[in-house]
Amino acid sequence: MTPSEHPTGPELQACHDGELEDTRSARIRAHCASCAACRGELEALASVAALLAADPDRAPVRPLWNAVRPGSRGPVPLGRMGWGLGLAACAAGIAAGLVFGPVDQATTAATAKSGWTETMTIWNGQATSPLLAVFENTGD
């Protein structure tokens, strides 16, 4: 490697990380000794690495073993099932809509009113039996 033949950025990175073969690494370091630009690149890499190293690992709050040991796992928490349950509910709703068709609001209102009348009849003791009241009011 001549003084004018500079190593590439990834090569300098690999040299800094100790990932090059000894001969290649030695050539790059020899080049850096006489090339201020490449030496500066290597020094910058070392500075960034030092900054990164100053950030220590955080530790988990509790040991994992009890949560992961075979046979110790209970039902999956709802949070993780949320997506599956939500999608299943949506699919069921769409399927029900397709099977039963749109709801006739007039019929629904009439049925509700009829049901209320029927409830009051039973409550007032006017019907002989709740079952009979249902048949009387729905006309079935």
Residues that bind other proteins (CB under 8 A): 9-10, 13-14, 17, 19, 44-45, 47-49, 51-65, 67-70, 73
DSSP 125: T
Contact 12, 45 (CB under 8 A): yes
Q: Which is nearer to other proteins, 36 or 80 (CB)?
A: 80
Q: How far is the CB of 140 from other proteins (least distance, A)?
A: 49
Cβ neighbours of residue 30 closer than 8 Å, sequence gap 6 or more: 1
Contact 29, 21 (CB under 8 A): no
Q: Which is nearer to other proteins, 2 or 66 (CB)?
A: 66
Q: Which is nearer to other proteins, 70 or 101 (CB)?
A: 70
